Chain A
Amino acid sequence: MRIKQTSLIVLALIVCSSLMFAGTISGKVTYTGTPAHQKPIDMSKEPSCAKQHATPVTTETVVTGPNNALENVVVYISSGAPDDGQVPAQAVTFEQKGCQYLPHVLAMHVNQELKIVNSDQTSHNIHPLAKVNREWNKSQPPGTPPISEKYDKPEFISVKCNVHPWMHGEFAVLNTNHFDVSKGGGDFKLANLPPGKYTITAWHEDYGTQTADVTITGNETKDVNFTFKAKAY
């Protein structure tokens, strides 16, 4: 009787404590130096897209924010956290709009559903250049339903459109649910971490990767910053 009650209590405590993991790694991604000038994109070949942009959009290889913030950096736990194995039920969406890919960098978990939407009046042919996963390309005329796909191996995949050469994006297929993509202020946050020794990796499509080792002992927030060196061309 007592053994059963004790084990129930212990079980309840374990379950509750795992829900209470509040270790956080957060920080900022910045750059030093002068990034290469992002060139304006001329969409005159596709008038239905060109007219959606009052001023031409630029390439998004390097997107910066105030105070040297670097955007579109994927920050994730590369070792130390056991793979949750839990594939999120929610799909991630990659949109073709104004002949651009939105968002420019999309992070997802292995086997998570990827929905590709065409919001333009022209056909697109999305071609993710996978080398580890299966490489495919799919045509998507305007008004057709979203394409549903998934990747079963972790990989960083460049994405291009076979019809519109200027379109470019990136998929980050990761083995973990602990990831974030830096936005306007260069900030990232990895939350709900159990105590442990972690290696986090910051990946930028042009500036490469950097890693940092972080140890979480309880519910604290550890501050980790990454600084990338800009390239002139």
Chain B
Amino acid sequence: MAKFFAITILVIAILSAVPVVRNTWHPVEDVSSHGQAIDDQLSETMWEAGISFLASQILLAWLIWRFSGPRPGEKSKSFPGGAKGLVIGAIVLVGVEVFALGIFGVKAWGNIYFTQPSADAIPIQVQAGQFAFYFRYPGPDGKFGPLHADKISEANQNFFGLDPANDPESRDDIVTAEMAIPVNKEVRLLMHAKDVSHSFYVPALRIHQDFVPGLDLQLHFTATKVGKYEIVCSQLCGLGHYNMKAYLSVLSQQDYDDWIKKEQAMQ
């Protein structure tokens, strides 16, 4: 019975490792300039955890096979050092592994969060509210007009609460329901939540950031391939969370200029 159990453990361990090693379910293609470091980090984590997993399962299977059902007269054996040795060994082994992953991970993280956007990054503001994302571009004057929460009127498409009557900088702001950016140009994303917590997640861009009500957050990134991607809300925000998304189009510079002109005309 015990030997059968040992074989089962081995089979399960190997079978579950196969699709991972063969990369059967791989993440969507990375189209960002910073995403490689994140993918490498995930890959390293998978390898280290995977090797530890396989090693521990194989060891467990062998120990069960070898030492279960003791023959008559045989003294039962114990791990050298006893339980104390085992525990210390496990702590050191796992501790070193996690620590190492943390060190490598900090670099990938810091590259996104602790670097400044370049001075000519395109500023785009995104507001997350139940249950849609709306975007604002500064327009020809390059400035965002002030926001007034009491002027928000969804019926009039004034999602941000702009007051063009009294704020001249708001008059050329472009508010859109979809986001478009030019390829290979850095974007500085200014994020805030209108009501509860939401999250901005674009898998292809390796960008994932929560909106926290009350906080103004910034992200910067560069997209490297033209295409249409989904921005999905990935923080449960209410009954419409399942339906909360927007589309991000990465366009050539010419197409992006045309798009901005078209959106400006619709304001």
Interface status of B234 (Cβ within 8 A of chain A): no
Contact A166 B157, beta carbon cutoff 8 Å: yes
Interface code A16-58, partner B: CB below 8 Å = 1, 0 otherwise? 0000000000000000000010011111111000000000100
Most buried by A among B130, B131, B164: B131
Flag whether A59 is at the interface (Cβ < 8 A).
Answer: yes
Q: What total of chain A residues lie within 8 Å of the partner, measured CB to CB?
A: 26
Minimum C-beta distance from B178 to chain A (A): 5
Residues of the A chain whose Cβ atoms lie less than 8 Å from the Cβ of B245: 45
Given A139-B239, A233-B165, A61-B177 contact (CB < 8 Å) = no
- Identify the closest chain A residue to B238 (Cβ): A162
Q: Which residue of A lies closest to B245 (CB)?
A: A45
| Beta-carbon contact of B164 and A163 below 8 Å | no
Encoded as 1 (CB less than 8 Å from any A CB) or 0, chain B from 164 to 203 comes to: 1100000000001110000000000000000000000000
Tell me the minimal C-beta distance from A188 to chain B in angstroms.
23
Interchain nearest-CB distance for A137 vs B (Å): 9
Interface residues of A in 102-134 (CB under 8 A from B): 122-123, 125
Contact with B177, one of A44, A160, A163, A233 (Cβ below 8 angstroms): A44
Determine whether the beta carbon of A39 is less than 8 Å from that of B157: yes
Query: Which residues on the B side are within 8 Å of A39 (C-beta)?
Result: 156-157, 266-267
Q: With A and B bound together, what is the CA distance between A44 and B134 in angstroms?
A: 11
Judged by a CB distance under 8 angstroms, whether B240 is at the interface is yes
State how many residues of chain B have any CB contact under 8 Å with chain A.
Answer: 25
Q: Least Cβ distance of A77 to chain B in Å? A: 27
- Contact between A59 and B131 (Cβ–Cβ < 8 Å)? no
Highest count of chain A CB atoms <10 Å: which of B178, B243, B244, B267 = B243
Which residue of chain A has its CB nearest to the CB of B176?
A: A42
Assess whether A232 is interfacial by the CB under 8 Å rule. Answer: yes
Contact A45 B157 (CB under 8 A): no
A122→B130 contact, CB < 8 A: no
| B109 at interface by CB-CB < 8 Å | no
Q: Contact mask A154-187 → B, CB, 8 Å, 1/0?
A: 0000101011111010000000000000000000
In whole angstroms, how far apart are the Cα atoms of A164 and B130 in the complex?
Answer: 9
Taking the nearest CB of chain B, how far is it from the CB of A141, in angstroms?
A: 11
B208-267 at interface with A (beta carbon < 8 Å): 238-240, 243-247, 266-267
Please pick, from A44, A123, A232, the residue contacting B243 in the complex, using a CB distance under 8 A. A123
A42 touches B178 (CB 8 A): yes
Given contacts A123-B243, A125-B239, A233-B164, contact A61 B129 (CB under 8 A): no
B89 → chain A, closest Cβ, in Å? 54
Name A45's contact: one of B130, B132, B239 (CB within 8 Å). B132
Bound: A168/B158 CA distance, A? 13
Contacts of A59 in B (CB 8 A): 155-157
**Is B159 at the interface (CB under 8 A from chain A)?**
yes
B74 contacts partner chain A, Cβ-Cβ < 8 Å: no
Determine how close the nearest CB of chain A comes to the CB of B132; give it in whole angstroms.
Answer: 5
Contact of B165 among A122, A164, A232 (CB under 8 A): A232
User: Which of B157, B176, B239, B247 is A162 in contact with, Cβ under 8 Å?
Assistant: B239
A165 and B132 in contact (CB under 8 A), knowing A42-B177, A45-B245, A61-B155?
Answer: yes
Contact B177 A45 (CB under 8 A): yes
The CA-CA distance from A108 to B155 in the complex, in Å, is 21
> Within the complex, which residue of A61, A139, A162, A168 is in contact with B130, where a contact is CB–CB below 8 Å?
A162
Bound CA–CA A41/B157 (angstroms)? 8
Q: Which residues of B contact A168 (CB under 8 A)?
A: 154-155
- A-B contacts besides A42-B177, A44-B178, A45-B244, 18 pairs, CB < 8 Å: A36-B156, A40-B266, A41-B157, A42-B178, A43-B177, A45-B132, A45-B133, A46-B243, A122-B243, A125-B239, A139-B239, A162-B131, A162-B238, A162-B239, A163-B131, A163-B243, A164-B132, A166-B154
List the interface of chain A (C-beta within 8 A of B): 36, 39-46, 56, 59, 61, 122-123, 125, 139, 158, 160, 162-166, 168, 232-233
19 A–B contact pairs at CB < 8 A? A39-B156, A41-B157, A42-B177, A43-B177, A44-B246, A45-B132, A45-B243, A45-B244, A45-B246, A56-B266, A123-B243, A125-B239, A139-B239, A163-B131, A163-B243, A165-B130, A165-B131, A165-B132, A165-B159
